[in-house]
Amino acid sequence: MPRKDPDASKSSFFLDKLLDAAVDIKQNPEAAERVYMARHLVQCTLPHSDPGNVNIWRRRNGNVTLSIRPHIGKDDKALYPYGSIPRLLLFWMVTEATRTKSRRITLGDSLPDFMREIGLNPRNGSGERSDVARLKEQMTRLFTAQINVEQAEEAHEMNVYMPVTSKTEFWWAFKTSADRSLWDSWIELGEDFFKMVTASPVPVDMRALRALKRSPLALDLYAWLTYTVFAANKNKANRIVPWKGLHDQMGGEYARTRDFRSKTLEAIKKIKLVYPALVIESTDEYLIVHPAKTAIESKE
DNA sequence: CCGAAAGTTAAGCTTGGAAT
DNA sequence: ATTCCAAGCTTAACTTTCGG
C-alpha cells in the first residue's frame, strides 16, 4: 500500500505546515504561545550559514555593531553558531531569562521535551543531520561564543563584551532511550548577556516560529518586524527603513542589495501568513512598516 | 525585474543491527 | 518476530550569484 502518488502528496509538506499555522494563528489569536527575543539581537542577527574559519563576524545597524567571537575548536577552527537552531535557542533563552528573572536556566529533565519546546523534532533519527546531533553541535557553538555590542556616537564610545554563558552543566545520556534525560542540565547566562537580553524583550508567537523555522532570514525578519511595528505604534508614525540599512543588519551575505530586497519581500509574504495584521509598503529605496496590531495580543 | 544555476541546510525515508 | 535506534541517503527548501 505504497505511498505513491508523486504529484498530489508531493505538493509541499512545508507549505502545508505554514498554512496550518497561518489558519491557527488567525482563528485563535488568544492561543498565542508567547516567547521573547532581545531587542539588540533583533536588530543585528547571527549568520545564516557557517562563516567558516574567520576571526570575527559583524553586523552593523546604524551606530550599533554586533560582533561574534567564536569558540576556537581543537583544530584551531572557528566554531560559529549559525542557521535556525541557535536562533530557536536564543528565543528560548531570552524567554526563560525574562520569565524567571534568573541567570540560571534549566533545560528540564527530558531531552525530547526540551527539543519540542524549542521547536525541534526529537524523532528524526540521530545521524549527523538529525535535530539531536545538530542541536548538540549548535548548543556548544552558541554557549561558548562571545557576543559584543559596540556603540559609537560622536564623542562617546561604549563596548560590551559578553560571553553568552558563564557556566554550563549538561548530562547528555544519549545511549539508550531510558537514559535520554537531561537530569538537571542547566546553563548560567553571562552577567552582561543576561542584562542585555532581559532589558527590552520583544514578544512573538512560538507558533509562527515553528512555521518559519526553515528559514533563518524569515525568523529574523519576523522578530524584527514585530519590534518595528511596536516602535511605529509608539511613535504613531510609519517606520521608513532604507533597504541598504536593513541589508547591513540582517542581510545574509547578498552581494547586491536588490537581491536581498527581492528575497526579503518573498519572505515577508510568508510572514504575513502568520502575522496577518502586518501592513508593509515597499519602494525601490525603502521598506515602510505601518503601525498595526502587534504580533501578539498584549497581556491583559 | 525575472529566472536559472550552484551551493547549503532541513526534513523525511530506508536500512541494518542490537535489544527485548 | 518486533521494536527501537543510529546512521546514511534522498529530496525539498533556502541562500546566493549571475546573466538575460
A112 touches strand C (CB under 7 A): no
Per the structure, the count of domains in chain A is: 1
Residue A127's pLDDT is: 66
Residue A192's pLDDT is: 93
Question: Which residue range(s) make up the domain with A44?
Answer: 13-289
Name the band, by pLDDT with cuts 50, 70 and 90, for residue A159: confident
Q: Is residue A2 part of a domain?
A: no
Rounded to whole angstroms, the distance from the CA of residue A226 to the C1' of nucleotide B10 is: 25
Q: Is residue A296 part of a domain?
A: no
Q: What is the mean pLDDT of residues A275-286?
A: 89
Nucleotide at minimal C1' distance from the A82 CA: B9
Q: Is residue A115 part of a domain?
A: yes
Return the CA Rg of chain A.
Answer: 20
Residue A299's pLDDT is: 57
Q: Is residue A213 part of a domain?
A: yes
Q: Which nucleotides of C are covered by protein (CB under 7 A)?
A: 4-10, 12-18
Helix (H, G, I), strand (E, B) or coil at A6: coil
State which residues between 62 and 121 of chain A bring their CB within 7 Å of strand B. 82-85, 120-121
How far is residue A102's CA from residue A238's CA, in Å, rounded to a whole number? 36
Nearest to A45 by CA among A65, A69, A63, A62: A65
Give chain A's length.
300
Nearest to A52 by CA among A215, A253, A231: A253
Q: Is residue A91 part of a domain?
A: yes
Q: Is the pLDDT of residue A171 over 60?
A: yes
Q: Is A175 exposed, middle or buried (0-12, 13-18, 19+ CB in 10 A)?
A: exposed
Least confident range from A28-32, A187-191, A294-298: namely: A294-298
Better-predicted residue by pLDDT, A180 or A266: A266
Helix (H, G, I), strand (E, B) or coil at A188: strand
Give the strand order in the sheet containing A156-163: A57-61, A64-69, A146-153, A156-163
A126 touches strand B (CB under 7 A): no
Is A32 in contact with A297 (CB distance < 8 Å)?
yes
Out of A92-106, A177-191, A245-259, the most confident range is A92-106
Looking at every residue in chain A, the average pLDDT score rounds to 82
Better-predicted residue by pLDDT, A11 or A216: A216
Residue for cell digits 532604507? A242
Q: Is residue A170 part of a domain?
A: yes
Q: Is residue A214 part of a domain?
A: yes
Q: Is residue A6 part of a domain?
A: no
Name the band, by pLDDT with cuts 50, 70 and 90, for residue A298: low
Question: How many other CB atoms sit within 10 Å of the CB of residue A168?
Answer: 17
